[in-house]
Amino acid sequence: MMTTTTRLTRHCCTALLALGLSAPAFASADTMRFGGNFPNDHSSSKAMEIFKEELDSRTEGNLTAQLFPGMQLGGAGENIDQVSSGAIMGTWVGIAYLSRIVPEFEAMSLPFAFDSREDAFRVIDGEVGEMLDEKLAEKGFTALGYMELGFRNVTNNERPIKEIGDFEGLKIRLQPNQTHLDTFRDLGANPVSMGIKEVYGALQQGVIDGQENPYSVIATRRLDEVQKYLSDSRHFYDYIVIIANLDKFESLSDEQQQAVTESMDVAVEWQRSKAAEEAKTARQTLVDRGMEFTSLSDETREALRAATQGVVDDVKNNIGAEFVETVQAELDK
């Protein structure tokens, strides 16, 4: 099965050759700027370093990537706007932040839909990913690949999460994604949309009771310092998408485009493997640091899935049933 980046490589190279474009592969040095909101030590930021090294090697230093992780150029929303305007070449960002531009990404945020990371990548590497690529292109972006952010899990300072009633009234920070917010409303919580850079302080000051993130993000952002309870709610599976400005990408020669996508293929493959390792160790790290962990039963998980079925129906109404049904069909295979 083709990955997103493999599809992109073939499409771009074929299109350029058909037009008879034959600019020198690496005629002069050029630098592409990428901004990200993930910390330097997150696997996605490390993967971007691998991309930089691969690109330097493949182009003999004539096409380079300059990386600005850790919100050096602003938060996720700001980075996306910078890519859209062409101020920077690209960013790597959680897909929830793109739903305001491409609503079809909501279909990837169906609550309690994914049972495994293998299911999640089968979906994004197949027909669904191709459909999303087309929607991104319509908005002036190109997807260079999808990395793993992982299953999202709830933390809070009020009580352990054991059953559906434990969500009642909790003020939980979420990403600015309507499906995410609606899911937690249906669970009885009080969801709050907030940028990640504000979360630590808001938890420390008691402005919010909790938040939800993959274990690796909770650990790298040291949220265990301001949170007591941790669960394995796994309510959403989340991806990190690397997007680039479409016009800027297409202004590269066909050889340069191929170097970019092949370099990103290497980085994405490494990150997916690394993220799987981190998911196994990060939870234990959080427990070792003092968080109280509670595992949800299968019965509770089924109750949560049933309670949020209305969210799935709303997504179908909002973006059209095609995307949602295609995702569900892939998951049923």
Number of domains in the chain: 2
Tell me, yes or no, whether 75 and 187 share the same domain. Answer: no
Q: Which domain holds residue 308?
A: 153-236+281-327
Kindly report the three-state secondary structure assignment for every residue of 75-129: CHHHHHHHHHHCCCCEEEEEHHHHCCCCHHHHHHHCCCCCCCHHHHHHHHCCHHH
Segment 40-62 shows an average pLDDT of 96
* Residue 7 CB contacts under 8 Å (≥ 6 apart), including other chains: 129, 130, 133
C-alpha distances out from residue 60 to 16, 28, 48, 249, 274, Å: 22, 11, 18, 19, 27
Domain boundary (264, 279, 294) is at 279
Half-sphere exposure of 220 (CA within 13 A, CB side): 22
Q: Is the pLDDT of residue 289 over 90?
A: yes
Task: Give the pair of three-digit tokens for residue 250.
Answer: 């297409």
Clarify whether residues 181 and 296 are in a common domain: yes
Residue 50 in tokens = 């691998």
Written as one letter, the residue type at 322 is E
Confidence of residue 224 (pLDDT cuts 50, 70, 90): very high
The answer to whether residue 332 sits within a structural domain is no
What whole-number distance in Å separates Cα of residue 48 and Cα of residue 268?
Answer: 9
Of residues 25, 53, 20, the one with CA closest to residue 252: 25
Q: Write down how long the chain is.
A: 333
Q: Indicate whether 14 and 158 sit together in one domain.
A: no
> What dihedral angle (degrees, nearest 10) is formed by the CA atoms of 149, 105, 3, 33?
-70
Q: Which pLDDT value is given to residue 29? A: 55
| Nearest residue to 187 via CA among 11, 306, 283, 326 | 306
Q: Which pLDDT does position 45 carry in this prediction? A: 96
pLDDT given for residue 218 in this prediction: 95
Chain-centroid distance, C-alpha 91:
11
Residue 69 lies in a domain: yes
Reported confidence tier of residue 17, pLDDT bands at 50, 70, 90 = very low
Closest of 132, 103, 117, 128 to residue 330, by C-alpha: 128
Residue 333 resides in a domain: no
Do 114 and 260 fall within a single domain? yes
Residue 136 lies in a domain: yes
State residue 18's pLDDT score. 40
The 10s digit of each residue's pLDDT in 251-279 is: 999 999 999 999 999 999 999 999 988 88
Domain contains 292? yes
* Mean pLDDT, range 102-111, rounded to an integer: 92
- Both 223 and 311 in one domain: the answer is yes
68: domain CATH number? 3.40.190.170
210/263 same-domain check: no
Q: What is the mean pLDDT of residues 53-71?
A: 97
- Residues 11, 110, single domain; the answer is yes
Give the list of residues 6+ apart from residue 88 with CB closer than 8 angstroms, or none.
33, 34, 35, 68, 73, 79, 82, 245
Q: 161 and 227 in one domain?
A: yes
Q: What is the pLDDT of residues 151-193, one digit of tens each?
A: 999 999 999 999 999 999 999 999 888 899 999 999 999 999 9
- Does 93 share its domain with 129? yes
Q: Is the dihedral of CA 292, 285, 273, 265 positive or negative?
A: positive
Check whether residue 58 and residue 189 sit in a common domain: no
Q: Are residues 185 and 292 in the same domain?
A: yes
Q: What is the pLDDT of residue 49?
A: 98
Tokens of 10: 């073939």
The whole-number pLDDT of residue 5 equals 46
* 169 and 96 assigned to the same domain: no
Q: What is the mean pLDDT of residues 59-80?
A: 96
Token pair listed for 79: 């980075």
> Mind listing the pLDDT tens digit for each residue in 94-104?
998 998 899 99
The residue type of 32 is M
The mean pLDDT of the chain is 90
Q: Cα 253 to the chain's mean position, in Å?
A: 28
